[in-house]
Amino acid sequence: MQKKETWLSIALVSPSILAVLIFVYGFIGWSVRVSLSKWKGLLPDYTWVGLRNYINLFSDPRFLVDVKNTLLFTVLFVVGCLLLGLILALLLDQGLRGEAFFRSLFLFPMAISFIVTGVVWRWLMNPAQGDRLSGINLLFNSLGLKFLISQWHATPGIGIAFIAIPAIWQMSGYTMALYLAGVRGIPEELREAARVDGATELQVYRYIVLPLLSPVTLSAMIILGHISLKVFDLIVAVAGKQLPLDVPAIYMWQTTFDGLFYGRGATIGILLLLSVAVLVIPYLRHTLRTEAEL
Amino acid sequence: MNTISRGRGRAWLYLPLILMALFYLLPLYVMLNTGFKSFAEVDLQTMWKLPSGLHFDNFVAAFEKLAPYLWNSVKLVIPAALISSFLGSLNGFVLAKWKFPGADIIFPLILFGMFIPYQSILIPLVEFMKRINLYGGIPGLMLTHVIYGIPITTLTFRNYYASIPNELVEAARIDGAGMLKSYRYILLPLSLPSFVVVLIWQFTQAWNDFLFAVVITSPSSWPITVALNNMAGSQIIAWNVQMAGAFLAALPTLLVYIFLGRYFLRGLMAGALKG
């Protein structure tokens, strides 16, 4: 009976496990193999070239721009989401009326695709100047905030920084939800005890709440960081595929499916995977281990 | 100080909240405001002005262009969400209640699949779909969503089933229920709320996907995201129609969010593991 059920349980999950093994691990292995080949053009060519694709990428000016863009974007996006998320969560934790309404409002962008967000922000961040001023620039102009008028993502050199604005718009509510769950998980007695000891409300936050939220910050950083490394559709929808706003995910897409440089495309994909794995594997190990100890 | 007195005298806290609310509503305002203008009123220089009345020209024009793609999305997303939720439930059940030898190694391996950047599997995916003749059409994209949805659906259900006391399964066992029966008659009915969470999550994810769709479907099978992006990139289609189109593309998931927000939030938190 017991043995029969063990086999049955394996039979139930094996289609899924097999699918994941093939589509995740098999395909990763296949991509690694492509990245070590000289495949260029419509027909597969698995001629072994060792690490040549990898070496070439690191002296490829376009890829170096991508790395710089990704770093700048990641820092702004992650810091922006964390700050905004934390502030919103602390505001919502004050027991104000209408909390549920504000919470839902801050979270609704999570239900929308990056493409929709991008299409709308494309017009909000219209870089046109002078008589053709529009979008948020127009708003700044009529509010007397002319100094804020910006070329947005068309700003030379740091255009990618402005893509962080719609990205933060989209993901800060999520960060807020993570923090809010964290704050709600702190026992009220802990804060109460500090107040009894004469701590001001500000001190309660500084010495009790914030330190206890650091695990949430770490999780949020990892989740946001891996989203940021993969950013793709948002940029495409806001600005199309233009070189100053290039990131590895866009380069991979273009070089593979428009340029047919399969070897190079696979190499970028694997490098993205490695950078995400560095973030996510320790996180997964830690989470699963803590769970097992409970 | 108790919670009630903490709530008083803090009206100023509404100021930052309202300012932030305006920031979050800005895109929605522009989308709807532009959408409801008549063609004659639409001008980039007056985009913040309210429309003279409710005109549906833009929505009609956008719908005419996007309807086939919206329909593609519906045909694709509903079965994909149903199938991957069902598979997730089976996996979650086994991994939480009937652990077989090696299950503890398998689970993290499955989980990692939800974090990988899909660029790292895109080339094999396309080649594979071509070989099994599913490249270009909706079934191939559906299969892709089902499989890459398995990690998150498995995780959510496993966590839920793990929270159900083992005694319940044991009791059923004493009454002579085998493994399948205890799933079918005890755990499955108990997990209906989790089904809602997972279905909503998968629906939203698949509806909003762009990367898989743009790579493995041909134009006649495009889902709405790809069609919308294409529309936004074209010089021929006016921006007001694009805005209306963006709203139409966002509407299904937005409605789900408005009416089933509680479940949506739970799905969101499940994706963050234990946080």
Are B182 and B172 contacting, i.e. CB atoms less than 8 angstroms apart? yes
- B150 and A104 within 8 Å at the Cβ level: the answer is no
A-facing residues of B in 193-232 (CB < 8 A) are: 204, 207-211, 214-215, 225, 228-229, 232
- Distance of alpha carbon B257 from alpha carbon A98, whole angstroms: 18
B-chain CB neighbours of A26 within 8 Å are 124
pLDDT of residue B172: 84
Encoded tokens for A164: 């962080």
Are B240 and B39 contacting, i.e. CB atoms less than 8 angstroms apart? yes
B-chain CB neighbours of A112 within 8 Å are 208, 250, 253-254
Reported ipTM: the value is: 0.92
Q: Is A43 exposed, middle or buried (0-12, 13-18, 19+ CB in 10 A)?
A: exposed
Q: For testing the chain A interface, which of B13, B119, B228, B263 should be mutated: the one with the most A CBs within 10 Å? A: B119
B9: confidence class by pLDDT, cuts 50, 70, 90: low
Which residue pairs, CB below 8 angstroms and at least 24 apart, start in B30-39?
B30/A120, B30/A123, B30/A124, B30/B243, B31/A120, B31/B243, B31/B244, B31/B246, B31/B247, B31/B250, B32/B247, B34/B58, B34/B239, B34/B240, B34/B243, B34/B244, B35/B59, B35/B240, B35/B243, B35/B244, B35/B247, B37/B240, B39/B238, B39/B240
Packed helices A61-92 and A99-107: angle between N→C axes, nearest 10 degrees:
170
Are A270 and A32 contacting, i.e. CB atoms less than 8 angstroms apart? yes
B-facing residues of A in 234-253 (CB < 8 A) are: 236-237, 240, 248-249, 252-253
Which chain B residue lies closest to A279 (C-alpha atoms)?
A: B115
Q: Where are the domains of chain B?
A: 3-46, 58-271
Encoded tokens for A277: 């794995």
The verdict on B190 touching A (C-beta cutoff 8 Å) is no
3-state class (DSSP) for residue B123: helix
pLDDT of residue B2: 45
Distance from CA of B26 to the nearest CA of A (A): 9
3-state class (DSSP) for residue B136: strand
pLDDT at B4 over 50: no
Distance from CA of B152 to the nearest CA of A (A): 12
pLDDT of residue A43: 93
pLDDT at B10 over 90: no
pLDDT at B179 over 90: no
- Distance of alpha carbon A103 from alpha carbon A100, whole angstroms: 5
* Average pLDDT across chain B, whole number: 90
Encoded tokens for B125: 């995916």
B39 vs B27, higher pLDDT: B27
Please provide the DSSP assignment of A103-167 as one string.
Answer: HHHHHGGGGS-HHHHHHHHHHHT----GGG--HHHHHHHHTT-GGG---GGGSTTTHHHHHHHHH
The verdict on B13 touching A (C-beta cutoff 8 Å) is yes
Q: What is the pLDDT of residues B227-252, one digit of tens each?
A: 999 998 877 778 889 999 999 999 99
Which of A181, A188, A191 is CA-nearest to residue A213? A181
pLDDT at B273 over 80: no
B3 vs B96, higher pLDDT: B96
The verdict on B250 touching A (C-beta cutoff 8 Å) is yes
- Distance of alpha carbon B140 from alpha carbon B131, whole angstroms: 11
| CB–CB contacts below 8 A, A to B | 285
pLDDT at B275 over 50: no
Distance from CA of B124 to the nearest CA of A (A): 6
- Distance of alpha carbon B199 from alpha carbon B190, whole angstroms: 16
Write down the residue that tokens 């949430």 correspond to.
Answer: A216
The verdict on B114 touching A (C-beta cutoff 8 Å) is no
Write down the residue that tokens 């990428």 correspond to.
Answer: A57
3-state class (DSSP) for residue B116: coil
B-chain CB neighbours of A268 within 8 Å are 119
Packed helices A114-124 and A135-142: angle between N→C axes, nearest 10 degrees:
40
φ/ψ of residue A151, rounded to 5? -90, 5
Q: CB count, 10 Å around CB of B95?
A: 24
pLDDT tens string, chain A, 294 residues long: the values are 467 788 888 899 999 999 999 999 999 999 999 999 999 999 999 999 999 999 999 999 999 999 999 999 999 999 999 999 999 999 999 888 999 999 999 999 999 999 999 999 999 999 988 888 888 999 999 898 988 999 999 999 899 999 999 999 999 999 999 999 999 989 989 989 999 999 988 899 999 999 999 999 999 999 999 999 999 999 999 998 889 999 999 999 999 999 999 999 999 999 999 999 999 999 888 888 887 776
Q: For testing the chain A interface, which of B70, B120, B169, B222 should be mutated: the one with the most A CBs within 10 Å? A: B120
H runs (alpha helix) in chain A: 2-20, 27-35, 52-57, 61-92, 99-107, 114-124, 135-142, 159-184, 188-196, 201-204, 210-212, 214-229, 233-239, 248-253, 262-293
Domain B58-271 falls under CATH 3.20.20.80: no
Cα B225 to chain centroid, rounded = 13
Which of A116, A117, A163, A259 is CA-nearest to residue B226? A116
The whole-number average pLDDT for the span B156-183 is 87
Write down the residue that tokens 């949506």 correspond to.
Answer: B264
Those residues with Cβ within 8 angstroms of residue A184's Cβ, 6 or more apart along the chain or in another chain? A93
- A95 and B3 within 8 Å at the Cβ level: the answer is yes
- Distance of alpha carbon A110 from alpha carbon A171, whole angstroms: 7
B-chain CB neighbours of A290 within 8 Å are 274
Give me the domains of chain A, ranges plus CATH numbers.
36-293 (1.10.3720.10)
- A262 and B123 within 8 Å at the Cβ level: the answer is yes
